[in-house]
Amino acid sequence: MSAAPGSVLVTKELGRWYGQVVGLNELTVDVGTGVTGLIGPNGAGKSTFLKLIAGEIRPSRGEIRVLGEDPFSSRELKRRTGFCPQQDALYDDMSALEIVRFLLRLSGFGASEAEERAVAALRRVNLEESMRRRAGGYSKGMRQRVKLAQAIAHDPELLVLDEPMTGLDPIGRRDLLVLLRALGEEGKSILISSHVLHEVESLTENILLLHRGRLLAQGTVPEVRRLLSKHPSRIELSAQRPRELARELLAHEEVVSVRLSARAGHIGGQLDLETNDAEAFYRRLTAVAAAGGYGIESLASSDASLEAIFDYLVT
C-alpha cells in the first residue's frame, strides 16, 4: 500500500463490522502530519476508526498503516502513538499519578523516568494539585485529564484523541485547546475526533468527515466547501438601501434567491441570499459596491463553517 511522503496514516478499503452492523465501510484515506479533525455524528464510525488506528481491534477487511506500521501487530508502534479513548476505564483505587506511572512502567520505562514523566504530564493537563488523590473521587473532567495525561506522557509522535472535550467545563476546554495547539507547534501529529465542530475548526482546517461508516469528504474547510458546488452558498448583506440592492442582484443569473429582513433600530435592512456561483457573485458585488449608491455596510457568509458543511453533506 503506497503512501504520500510525510503520511502518518494510510488506509485502503478499510472496513470493520460487528455481526450485521457496519462500523466502517470501504474507507480509503491518506492523512499527513499536523492536526486533523475527524468529524461526524454519533454512529458515524469515528470510534471504530480510532480503535483500528490504536490497534485495539482488527479490521474486517482492507489495510491500515500508522506511521508505516500495522497497528495491531507492531509493539514498537505503541511507543510512537498516544491514544485517549472515549470510554472511561480508570482504576478508581489508584491516584492519577499511580495510574500514569503504572502505564509508563508497562511501556518499558524505568521507575525514576516513569515518575518524572507522569508528574510532567499531569502538570501539563493542570492536574498537579489532585494527582495524588484516588481517581474514584475525581469529577468527569478530572478523569478526562488523566486519560489525556497518559496519552502524552511517553512523548508520542502521533496523538489519537477520541472526543477529548467530553466532560470538560469551558475552562477545561480552553486549556485543552491551548495544549493541543502547543503540541502541534512542537511537531506532534494529532488526530482528534469530535462533534464540537467549532472547537475542531479553531484547531485546524484539515478535516475528515464520516457518516454511516463512510468517508464523505477530506481536505481543508475551503476545499470541502468547493466540493459542494451543487449547493447554493448562503450570504448575508446589510445595506442602507436593501430593496434597490436586492433588485440589482436578482438581475444576475448567479443569484438564486434574496430575502429581505428589517433590522431593529436601523434605517436599512439585511439581505439573506443564495448564489450558485460564489466567486462570480463576489466579483459582481465588488463592481456593485464600487458603483456606490446602495450603502453596503457588511458582508458575511453564513455557511463557511464546518457546521454548515456538515449539514449540507448529510442531508
Extract the C-alpha cell encoding 297.
Answer: 455596510
Extract the C-alpha cell encoding 281.
Answer: 457573485
- Does 266 score more than 90 pLDDT? no
Judging by beta carbons within 10 Å of its beta carbon (0-12, 13-18, 19+), is residue 126 exposed, middle or buried?
Answer: middle
pLDDT of residue 298: 82
Percent of the chain clearing pLDDT 90 (strictly above): 50
Report residue 193's pLDDT band, with 50, 70 and 90 as the boundaries: very high
287 phi and psi angles, rounded to 5 deg:
-65, -40
CB atoms within 10 A of CB 253: 10
pLDDT of residue 202: 82
pTM for the structure as a whole:
0.76
Distance CA 189, CA 104 (A): 21
**Higher local confidence (pLDDT), 227 or 83:** 83
Residue 307's Cα: distance from chain center in Å?
11
- Does 64 score more than 90 pLDDT? yes
Extract the C-alpha cell encoding 305.
Answer: 463553517
- Does 229 score more than 80 pLDDT? no
Distance CA 275, CA 282 (A): 10
pLDDT of residue 2: 59
- Mean pLDDT value across residues 226-237: 73
- Mean pLDDT value across residues 82-110: 94
**Higher local confidence (pLDDT), 227 or 57:** 57
pLDDT of residue 308: 65
pLDDT of residue 38: 93
Residue 308, helix vs strand vs coil: helix
- Does 26 score more than 60 pLDDT? yes
Fill in the DSSP letter of residue 91: -
**Higher local confidence (pLDDT), 101 or 172:** 101
CB atoms within 10 A of CB 74: 17
Report residue 265's pLDDT band, with 50, 70 and 90 as the boundaries: very low
- Mean pLDDT value across residues 199-204: 82
- Does 218 score more than 80 pLDDT? yes
Query: What distance, in Å, lies between the first and last C-alpha atoms of the chain?
Result: 33
Locate cell 499519578: which residue? Answer: 97
- Does 310 score more than 70 pLDDT? no
Query: Structural domains in the chain?
Result: 7-226 (3.40.50.300), 233-302 (3.30.70.260)
- Mean pLDDT value across residues 41-53: 90
- Mean pLDDT value across residues 161-177: 86
pLDDT of residue 71: 94
70 phi and psi angles, rounded to 5 deg:
-80, 115
**Higher local confidence (pLDDT), 283 or 199:** 283
